[in-house]
């Protein structure tokens, strides 16, 4: 008769042995310190992420990115139309700080990897719940960073809709992170109390000592190896990784000569100085815009209460023209600022007989897709710089930039600057 061994007495295999993990740098202080930096970074990323969601104005409908109804009520305010660079800043932070956070996320995971191999894998129901919550935190973090980077790279390797998946993933991530920080705060505070917040960074390699092994925490090694790197050396390596990612991308947001350095950014191209030579998100051909749709027969339809007023491009050009320097700030993190000329949306609203509309629902000639329409809020219609642009940098819009006419409104996500506009429906409650 064979006896079943009791699990805790079984010698743990391979990486499940505590002595397997030997880095003398691991320990509660190191994890707390990396985690604190990461917390600040992901705090910025989460805040700007939810701001971006607010900027999309899913509550207005027609911004068919996350369904109204299915959306969480996290949009409390109307996205403003000034300062003009508002979305370029919030989304630039979201994308670039997100990249900066990646090396810290990897370092954080490295610092706690012995805990992945806890033995026995499940010792109590409470520990099972803790491990499940960590699994949720780690998988939502990896999901958010992976989908974010893929989207920045225009690599739609996934079948689900990016915006809703990334949004709901973000909600799960923030909730599990808040729980994690709350549960771990005693350990974090003890590590800082015992070792100082920054003191371990003063030690050079010769003075780098392991943190005392803690049989319950399992982060500090029971059999530490000789250090080959100081703790501040580790921070320098991780920080250098972040710096490389930042330099490789931030030029697409800031523009100018830095754009040449943005080697990781698909929209970094420094295009010629021609009036229409700047970044294109989707070309006219890709959007299904045929030349006959935009030729002499083109009419813009202004709709109020089902009544329609139609205008040719010549009639639009005969109206008072306004010029504004405004950025296109794409959700993927790139920005380009140009000088746009066209008719004020407020003038079109007045002409159509709705001088003070609550919203404007814009449709493109583009036959399909979530990017073929947008709803602008009342302030965005009223802003004196909000235009139906006919020209850019003094020249007619090129087909790829939205000829015959496109929306350009200050401070909003690039996706709301609908190209190839067919109809504008001014609505009042
Ligand atoms: N009709 C239509 N308008 C559109 C798009 C589109 O795909 N179709 N792309 C949007 C996105 S995501 C951005 S960032 C801007 C880019 O404008 P650009 O291509 O002129 O730079 O246009 C917006 N307007
Ligand atoms: Mo975009």
* Residue that has been written with the tokens 């209460």 in this structure: 305
Answer yes or no: are the C-beta atoms of 295 and 377 closer than 8 Å: no
Q: Which atom of ligand 1 is nearest to the CA of 419?
A: 3
pTM score of the predicted model: 0.93
Does the Cβ of 401 fall within 6 Å of ligand 1?
A: yes
Expressed in angstroms and rounded, the spacing between residue 343 Cα and the centre of ligand 1 is 19
pLDDT of residue 140: 98
What tokens were used for 357? 């509309």
Distance CA 390, CA 307 (A): 24
pLDDT of residue 213: 87
What tokens were used for 392? 């850019």
The best mutation among 278, 338, 371 to test binding of ligand 1, ranked by most ligand atoms within 8 Å of the C-beta, falls on 371
What is the second-level CATH architecture of the domain 284-427?
Alpha-Beta Complex (3.90)
Give the containing element (helix H, strand E) for 302.
strand 300-304
Expressed in angstroms and rounded, the spacing between residue 345 Cα and the centre of ligand 2 is 21
Q: Where are the domains of the chain?
A: 14-261, 284-427
pLDDT of residue 1: 44
pLDDT of residue 118: 87
pLDDT of residue 257: 87
Distance CA 393, CA 414 (A): 18
pLDDT in tens, 373-382: 999 999 999 9
pLDDT per 10-residue tile (average), the chain, 429 residues: 56 86 96 98 97 87 59 72 96 98 98 92 91 96 97 86 91 97 96 97 97 83 96 98 97 90 85 88 95 96 97 98 97 95 98 96 92 94 98 98 98 96 95
Does the Cβ of 138 fall within 6 Å of ligand 1?
A: no
Expressed in angstroms and rounded, the spacing between residue 332 Cα and the centre of ligand 2 is 6
Helix (H, G, I), strand (E, B) or coil at 193: helix
Answer yes or no: are the C-beta atoms of 91 and 53 closer than 8 Å: no
pLDDT of residue 13: 82
């Amino acid at each position: 008769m064979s006896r079943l061994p009791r699990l805790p007495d079984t010698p743990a295999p391979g990486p499940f042995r505590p002595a397997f993990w030997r880095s003398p740098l691991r320990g509660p202080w190191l994890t707390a310190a990396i985690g604190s930096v990461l917390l600040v970074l992901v705090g910025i990323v989460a805040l700007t992420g939810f701001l971006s969601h607010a900027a999309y104005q899913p509550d207005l409908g027609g911004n068919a990115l996350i369904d109204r109804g299915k959306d969480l009520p996290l949009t409390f305010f109307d996205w403003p139309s000034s300062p003009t660079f508002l979305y370029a800043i919030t989304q630039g932070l979201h994308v670039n700080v997100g990249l900066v956070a990646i090396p810290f996320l990897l370092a954080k995971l490295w610092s706690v990897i012995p805990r992945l191999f806890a033995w026995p894998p499940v010792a109590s129901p409470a520990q099972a719940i803790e491990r499940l919550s960590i699994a949720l935190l780690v998988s939502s973090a990896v999901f958010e960073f992976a989908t974010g980077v893929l989207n920045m790279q225009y690599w739609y390797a996934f079948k689900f809709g990016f915006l809703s998946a990334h949004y709901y993933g973000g909600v799960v991530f923030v909730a599990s992170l808040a729980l994690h920080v709350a549960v771990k705060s005693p350990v974090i505070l003890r590590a800082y109390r015992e070792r100082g917040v920054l003191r371990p960074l003063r030690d050079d390699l010769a003075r780098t000592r392991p943190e005392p092994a803690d049989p319950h925490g399992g982060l500090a090694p029971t059999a530490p190896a000789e250090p080959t790197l100081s703790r501040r050396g580790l921070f320098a390596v991780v920080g250098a990784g972040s710096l490389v990612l930042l330099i490789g991308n931030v030029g697409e947001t800031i523009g100018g000569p830095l754009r040449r350095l943005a080697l990781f950014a698909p929209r970094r191209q420094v295009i010629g100085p021609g009036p229409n030579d700047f970044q294109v998100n989707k070309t006219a051909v890709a959007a299904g815009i045929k030349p006959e749709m935009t030729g002499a027969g083109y009419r813009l339809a202004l709709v109020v209460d089902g009544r329609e007023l139609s205008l040719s491009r010549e009639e639009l050009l005969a109206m008072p023209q306004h010029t504004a320097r405004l950025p296109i700030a794409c959700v993927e993190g790139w920005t380009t600022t140009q000088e746009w000329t066209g008719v004020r949306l407020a003038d079109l609203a007045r002409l159509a007989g709705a001088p003070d509309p609550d919203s404007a629902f814009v449709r493109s000639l583009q036959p399909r897709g979530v990017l073929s329409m947008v709803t602008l809020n009342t302030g965005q219609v009223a802003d004196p710089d909000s235009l139906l642009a006919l020209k850019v940098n003094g020249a007619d819009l090129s087909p790829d930039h939205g000829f015959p006419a496109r929306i350009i409104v200050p401070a909003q996500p690039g996706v709301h600057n609908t190209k190839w506009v067919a109809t504008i429906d001014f609505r009042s409650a």
